[in-house]
Amino acid sequence: MEPRITLEELREVFLSAEESQAARAVAVLVSVTLAAIVLVLVRRRSLREEYTPIWLAVAGGLLVVSLRFDLLRALTRAIGAWTPSSTLFFLGEVFLLAICLNFAVRLSRASVQLKNLGQEVAILRSQVESLTRDAAPPPEARPPS
């Protein structure tokens, strides 16, 4: 009979696998590039300053995880995931969900403001037309042309 490996032993194999130096180099390069792109976008005023700390924190987090893979392994063990890559994907999904929720809230606020502004413009237009009508002399009082 062949020896069987348990699921916990298999998980331990995944978690104890050595990380690739090439993958580490790519991850460091990506995190530094992300930070540089964020700073360039802020400088060109394509990205508002209020978003800069968020994106720089993401770039910094990626850099930390790239340089200290043991922290990612510890987090993977803590949440009960099988591989560090699944932990990264999970954290990425949580981040994207938070961004989507943030933009949904901002979009809701903007649509309410747009509706209110449209209503205010309609009221002002009505008032201007009313004042224009009241200020114009009646047709009988106008001098003949």
Summarised one tens digit per residue, pLDDT across range 71-84 is: 999 999 999 898 88
Greater confidence, 142 or 88? 88
Could you tell me what percent of the chain has a pLDDT over 90? Answer: 57
- Burial of residue 87 (CB within 10 Å: 0-12, 13-18, 19+) is buried
CA 61 – CA 92 distance, rounded (Å): 11
CB 43 within 8 Å of CB 52: no
Tell me: pLDDT of 144 over 70: no
Q: How many residues can be counted in the chain?
A: 145
Summarised one tens digit per residue, pLDDT across range 17-47 is: 888 889 889 999 999 999 999 999 999 999 8
Tell me: pLDDT of 126 over 90: yes
DSSP state of 51: G
Q: What is the structure's pLDDT at 39? A: 93
Tell me: pLDDT of 60 over 80: yes
Kindly state the average pLDDT of the residues 61-68.
Answer: 91
